[in-house]
Structure 1
Amino acid sequence: MSFDPHELLFRLKQSTFRARFHLDLQSRAYLQEKGLDTVMAHAADFIRDRLAPAHPLNDGKQTPMRGHPVFIAQHATGSCCRSCLQKWQHMSKNQPLTEDQQATIIAVIRAWIEQDTQGNVPDSPAQGSLF
């Protein structure tokens, strides 16, 4: 059975916390300027450097809430830290992520960005209170 990022996105929409993340005007402008392929190259770098090690530096705090479309997408897709990856994508903590796992994370982020850009632009990347 192959991995379907849209099934995970459906499950994530059931989470009040994850469902409130959306790309704002600044993030959409950045996507428009750089293009999705360039933004996804950034995603690959972020995942490799900040998430793939078995014990990432500042795990649980390594992904900002704003500043890049990928950061917002990581929070929306449960790929912001190793604990969220374990919960949402069943990728074990304390082991380096394989290239296939990294590709899966990137595919989910890309699917989320493509899906989110079809909707209206919110006032902020995470509408409503974070708590």
Structure 2
Amino acid sequence: ERLQSNLARFVVIVWVFVVLILTSSYTASLTSILTFQQLRPTVTSIQSLIRNGDYIGYLEGSFVPSLLERMNVDKSKLREYSTAEQYKEGLTRGSSGGGVSAIVDEIPYIKLFLAKYCTGFSMVGPTYKNGGFGF
């Protein structure tokens, strides 16, 4: 039918915009929910790595191996890496593919790694305090 009055035209236009906004909002919410589920890290703690028998990577020359050994991580489950590229390769392979399930390192180095390789990797807690550096 043809709309005769201006009021009817106004109501139809408002109704179309309301439906458009509701549809967009629903689509955005659904996308957000589906994306958020994919962003959950697979590793949540050192204890879960120990329980699963996963390999853990660390930076060559770091104090991290002694810290991990104090946390009862088996020395044979530690893998040493010297570059960010090796970190990426080890994490991509995973523990079952000859790599590692997690990298334990100092936060500044992890932030540098994530700045270079932000896709597919994330930093998870908890953070462990250490005595610090002395000169």
Specify the TM-score bucket, using the shorter chain as the normaliser. under 0.3
> Which one scores higher on RCO, CA 8 angstroms, separation ≥ 6?
1
- With the length of structure 2 as denominator, give the TM-score of the two structures: 0.24
Normalized per residue, which structure has more strand? 2
Question: Bigger radius of gyration, 1 or 2?
Answer: 2
